[in-house]
Structure 1
Amino acid sequence: MRYDPIGRLLLTPVDRGAPERVRRLRLLGIGEHPEPAFDGFALHLAQLAGAPYAMVNFIAEERQFYAGLHTPAPETGRSRDRDHGYCPHVVVRRRALVLEDVRDFSRFAGNAIVEETALRFYLGVPLIDRTGIALGTVCVVDTRPRHWGRAFLDTVKSLATGLSEQIRLREPDSI
């Protein structure tokens, strides 16, 4: 991870797996354009959570792209800098991240996405493909603190695993 000596906040972690991930995303043909199936997945996840935002997010070297997006603000862009948000942390860690109230975590409270969207809650789960590469995330976001508990996290993990299986079918040797 990088450290900002002036702001004294831990920044987005160094992502040594990005070049391999980008090659894999290109092979699978995902992560550069919106996809109705991923939008449908995001809608289902948002409805299940009762949250205003849900995404299927793929992480490249310098940016992240929401190939699946559910948001109450239709003008919301689908691409962000890699340093905005929490999904890059999930991808590098290769583990779920639950922030019931981002303000409770100094490491995460200063992220630019908090001010841009009034984000307060984040739950992200990595999308890990059959080769073991974390391609991106499935995440739920809310503008108010939330507590769903372990059962909901397990549900999102299960949904992410199912989506990873659907993505595997895009492989040239699977078609």
Structure 2
Amino acid sequence: MVNLDVSSALAELDGETVHLAIRHSRSQSVWPRSEARHLLDVRLTPMVKDDSAVQSTDPRAWSGNVPMLHDENTDSWSEWIVSAGISVATWRGPTFSNSAVALQGATSGQGMALGSRIVAGELLESGALIAPFQHEVTDGAYWLLARKFEKLSKAEATFCSWLVEQVAQASAKVV
């Protein structure tokens, strides 16, 4: 049996109650008392409910006329704007507890959120969101952690294999 707990808190991989974790980091790939396996690099691009917020697929033509929905990492928008070579006069917009909630805000028309084409793949495929610009910025990676991968139960090892396969399939769709 695999129990899943979704939390932004760092769980201690004690081998008794917590056996696996998925962590996002902009720079870290090693955590104490655990082994890490790379799942996927994160590349962010603006996502919005419809194309009325943008006049061109060239980000340099974007005026910033729609609220920017921020997540807990408020640096992501500034990094995307600088790397796209654009100047936006205002950085207005609410800050959400995580990127998934910011993307939900974008789907409800509250503004534009930065998202990963892989993580938001179903929202993009369904048309709930569009990614009007091709320009992306790197935002770290997701890592699968275990105390010791070779000591996982059969169910946990099966879950890890399934997860890696799902990430690979989702990544292949985006290419």
TM-score using structure 1 length: 0.25
TM-score using structure 2 length: 0.25
Larger relative contact order (Cα-Cα within 8 Å, sequence gap ≥ 6) = 2
Bigger helix share: 1
